[in-house]
Amino acid sequence: MMNVLFKALNDPTRRQILDLLREADLTAGEIADRFAMTKPSISHHLDLLKQAGLVEATKKGQFILYTINTTVLDELLAWLLHFRQDSQPK
């Protein structure tokens, strides 16, 4: 799971999408409108973010609404802090 998470976070476009979703839940179309790339490219980025558990998709009528999932980021931060604490001199 960590490899998928790091792969998802490694791309600047995906990080920008997460920044947008921090502000508000958005549809794929609303996200695509903020980027100079094709909708299929945005869909690919959203799919990788979903696979990593960083976003959740909920069907609302004919649209899919994307929401950030901070639980995964909280788990990543806890994991990283664990290493920092272990490396502190005693």
pLDDT above 90 (res 11): yes
Per-domain residue ranges of the chain: 2-87
pLDDT of residue 77: 86
CATH number for the domain formed by residue range(s) 2-87: 1.10.10.10
Q: What is the pLDDT of residues 39-62, one digit of tens each?
A: 999 999 999 999 999 999 999 899
* 52-86 burial code (b ≥16 CB/10 A, e <16): bbbbeeeeeeeeeebebbeebeeebeeeeeeeeee
Q: What is the pLDDT of residue 73?
A: 85
The whole-angstrom distance between residue 40's C-alpha and the CA centroid of its chain comes to: 17
Q: What is the pTM of this model?
A: 0.86
Over the chain, what is the mean pLDDT? 91
DSSP secondary structure letter of residue 11? S
| Distance between CA atoms of residues 1 and 67, nearest Å | 20
Please state the rounded mean pLDDT for residues 71-82: 87
| Res 18: pLDDT | 96
